[in-house]
Amino acid sequence: MKPENVFLSGDWGTTRFRLRLVEASTRVVLAERQSDEGIAAVHADWRRQGADPAGRLAFYRRILAGHIRNLEQDSGLPLGGVPVVLSGMASSSLGLAELPYLSVPFASNQLNVSRFAEDSDFPNPLLVISGVRTATDVMRGEETQLAGCLIEDPSANRRLFVLPGTHSKHAVVQGGRVTDFRTFMTGEVFALLTKHSVLAASVQPNADFGTYQAAFLQGVQDGTRQPLLNALFRVRTHQLFGECPPPENHHYLSGLLVGAELAAIRPGDFDAITLLADGIQRQVYEAAFRTLFDTPLTVRSADEALLRGQKEVWNIYARMEK
């Protein structure tokens, strides 16, 4: 396979790093590397080594270069000159360069992309996608997934996209452009409550959603019907009164928070609603949505949307290079 037919897809989050070699025309992943070298850890290492502003880009590039060498070994392909398309926190204040946010509205071909030219130490063009902002909110990473969805379906209808995560996003799309979004700290609050609150002793983390789905859905309903700060203490009394074992309580608490998040949705305001998620997040949010609403729900892969959005950035770069 020729280097001009592939690109490197980078997803650099706060706590995790992932780099994939992707066949451009099909978006098939040919090789993949993951690590715990998230942006926060790399930034901390850079600061420990003196935080030289002039060497910041080179420091982050060395991390990338190591993973590219591993992908060369895995794939058997020479990857010098293959462009790297980076999404996520790489463009943040902790990243390789802090890039300005793009303001809404934006369409699939209007992402804010900065190109860092290759050099003798790093022979790969680097395309870094910046985040997006409203007057009161920001996102980094989800804009690329949304762009990927808009490429496939540029409908002019008013649509809502729900993107679960540590900081879930609810994005409004109208006229083929993202016009607004809101952030819900669902995942982060869940982590804080289960690890650092009085509720930590009342739950037992587990991934057995199937067994405890009923408890989760009860939490979803309670999270929409009761004041959240009051409902949360029910997790504690469940344990005190012997009403709910800790593994079940874990999913009840999850349901409370997801329910409180989804209670903000008014389905009648939209022509269509799409859940953009994979894995357990897809299971959890789809079950919650179908419990609360009669409105049809479209479910799509967040990972596929990310690759589609990054490919659009690669396409624009490839056309500019011709």
Tell me the pLDDT tens digit for each residue of 151-180: 877 777 899 999 999 999 999 999 999 999
- Going from N- to C-terminal start, the domains of the chain cover 3-140, 184-300
| pLDDT cut 70: percent of the chain above it | 98
Q: b/e per residue, 269-304, with b = 16+ CB within 10 A?
A: ebebbbbbbbeebbebbbbbbebbeeeebeebbbbb
Q: Which residues pair with 181 in a beta bridge?
A: 171
* Residue 88 CA, distance from chain mean position: 8
CATH superfamily of 3-140: 2-keto-3-deoxy-galactonokinase, substrate binding domain (3.30.420.300)
Number of other CB atoms surrounding residue 78 within 10 Å? 9
pLDDT of 31 above 70: yes
Confidence of residue 2 (pLDDT cuts 50, 70, 90): low
Nearest to 284 by CA among 166, 196, 164, 199: 164
| Cis peptide bond prior to 105, omega within 30° of 0 | yes
Decide if 3-140 and 184-300 have a common fold.
Answer: yes
Which pLDDT tens digit goes with each residue over 54-109? Answer: 999 999 999 999 999 999 999 999 999 999 999 999 999 999 999 999 999 999 98
For residues 287 and 213, the answer to whether their CB atoms sit within 8 Å is yes
Are residues 212 and 248 in contact, defined by beta-carbon separation less than 8 angstroms?
Answer: yes
Mean per-residue pLDDT of the chain: 94
What's residue 322's pLDDT?
62
270-306 pLDDT per residue, tens:
999 999 999 999 999 999 999 999 999 999 999 999 9
What CATH number should be reported for the domain whose range is 184-300? 3.30.420.310
Mean pLDDT of 234-255: 96
How far apart CA 77 and CA 235 sit, in angstroms, is 53
76 neighbors 2 (Cβ within 8 angstroms): no
Q: Is the pTM of this model over 0.85?
A: yes
